[in-house]
């Protein structure tokens, strides 16, 4: 069904459908896509935290936690700080099991009982987040793009039969009346290169699925924010149609064909077995 859905990130991840990151990886080689395992880094965790705070501030306030640093105690004897903290988490529905039950267990790492809603925010991350929000408040266009959109909607669509029999899915940050906007966090916003980062596959997939749902969508914006002070912001845009869009469509088509072929044959090959002649790069002339 061609429509936007509002589902949790856990539900989204469980859906058996290919996403843009996998399609970008398969352009390197099917073997790379098949074997890739995501390593969660501090930068990725901060990016998720910043996304949540900017896009869903009310829910972020509920989910953000900062566990006490004091010794956590043992079975039946938690520190007062941890007892108060976990009781507060229970009130916010952030625990997998009741706090009273946790206190009876022989465990010192009680934070392992947080559910997936909980977001651990240390003092340094909260300080940087406040600084980023202060900068965003000075950019009317950023506020316009974020506040004028629905947040983190999901689209799941069956591909054209010429590619095979499988689903694709995507989850844009912001979906407005005639645009999509996506937040990106980086060290240098002035050096943002969507093709080098594989974001062209993500953007064109989101645009393609969005236009199936709403043909009025014609613009795609990247809101690129520097994660470190002074937290500079640059908005990048591409419109439909455009040379960038046509190039990205070709690459997306290549990826969908390759993915469909791999599903059909059950083989996920690596690089072609060939010898490549070294050439002087164009930029060196």
Using one digit for the tens of pLDDT, what is the confidence trace for 23-73?
999 999 999 999 987 666 677 677 888 898 999 888 888 888 888 876 555
Residue 169 scores a pLDDT above 60 = yes
Let me know whether 93 and 147 are in one domain: no
Let me know whether 108 and 225 are in one domain: no
pLDDT for 165:
95
User: What are the Cα distances from residue 66, in Å, to 88, 125, 273?
Assistant: 11, 10, 52
Confidence of residue 9 (pLDDT cuts 50, 70, 90): confident
Let me know whether 110 and 128 are in one domain: no
Is 60 within a domain?
Answer: no
Kindly report, residue by residue over 136-146, the tens digit of the pLDDT. Answer: 999 999 999 99
Number of neighbouring beta carbons within 10 Å of residue 55: 16
More confident residue, 81 or 253: 253
Let me know whether 116 and 138 are in one domain: no
Domain boundary (57, 87, 120) is at 120
Is 160 within a domain?
Answer: yes
Confidence of residue 75 (pLDDT cuts 50, 70, 90): low
Q: What is the spatial distance between Cα 26 and Cα 268, in angstroms, rounded to a whole number?
A: 9
Confidence of residue 285 (pLDDT cuts 50, 70, 90): low
Q: What is the spatial distance between Cα 241 and Cα 17, in angstroms, rounded to a whole number?
A: 27
Is 279 within a domain?
Answer: no
pLDDT for 73:
59
pLDDT for 278:
92
Look at the chain and report how many structural domains it folds into.
Answer: 2
Let me know whether 92 and 200 are in one domain: no
Confidence of residue 108 (pLDDT cuts 50, 70, 90): low
pTM value is 0.85
Is 253 within a domain?
Answer: yes
Is 217 within a domain?
Answer: yes
Residue among 233, 56, 231 at smallest CA distance from 128: 231
Domain boundary (104, 120, 136) is at 120
Residue-range definition of the domain harbouring residue 95: 67-120
Residue 182 scores a pLDDT above 60 = yes
Is 271 within a domain?
Answer: no
The 10 Å CB-count burial string (b at 16+, else e) for 115-145 is: eebbbebeeebeebbeebeebbeebeebeeb
Kindly report, residue by residue over 185-229, the tens digit of the pLDDT. Answer: 999 999 999 999 999 999 999 999 999 999 999 999 999 999 999
pLDDT for 22:
95
pLDDT for 110:
65
Strands 73-74 and 77-78: antiparallel
Is 277 within a domain?
Answer: no
Let me know whether 149 and 226 are in one domain: yes
Residue 107 scores a pLDDT above 70 = no
* CATH number of the CATH domain containing 218: 3.90.320.10
How big is the chain by its Cα radius of gyration, in Å? 22
């Amino acid at each position: 069904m061609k429509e936007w859905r509002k589902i949790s990130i856990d539900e989204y991840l469980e859906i058996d459908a290919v996403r843009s990151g996998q399609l970008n990886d398969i352009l390197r080689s099917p073997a790379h896509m098949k074997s890739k395992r995501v390593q969660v880094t501090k930068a990725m965790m901060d990016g998720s935290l910043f996304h949540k705070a900017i896009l869903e501030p009310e829910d972020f306030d509920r989910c953000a936690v900062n566990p006490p640093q004091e010794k956590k105690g043992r079975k039946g004897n938690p520190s007062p700080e941890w007892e108060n903290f976990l009781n507060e988490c229970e009130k916010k529905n952030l625990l997998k099991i009741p706090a009273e039950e946790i206190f009876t267990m022989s465990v010192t790492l009680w934070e392992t009982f947080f559910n997936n809603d909980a977001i651990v925010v240390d003092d340094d991350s909260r300080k940087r987040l406040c600084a980023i929000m202060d900068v965003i408040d000075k950019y009317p266009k950023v506020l316009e793009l974020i506040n004028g959109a629905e947040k983190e909607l999901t689209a799941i669509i069956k591909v054209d039969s010429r590619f095979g029999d499988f689903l694709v899915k995507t989850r844009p940050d912001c979906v407005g009346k005639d645009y999509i906007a996506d937040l990106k966090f980086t060290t240098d916003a002035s050096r943002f290169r969507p093709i080098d980062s594989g974001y062209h596959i993500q953007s064109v997939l989101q645009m393609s699925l969005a236009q199936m749902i709403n043909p009025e969508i014609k613009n795609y914006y990247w809101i690129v924010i520097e994660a470190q002070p002074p937290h500079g912001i640059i908005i990048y845009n591409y419109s439909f149609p455009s040379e960038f869009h046509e190039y990205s469509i070709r690459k997306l088509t290549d990826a969908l064909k390759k993915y469909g072929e791999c599903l059909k044959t059950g083989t996920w090959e690596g690089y072609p077995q060939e010898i490549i002649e070294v050439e002087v790069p164009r930029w060196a002339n």
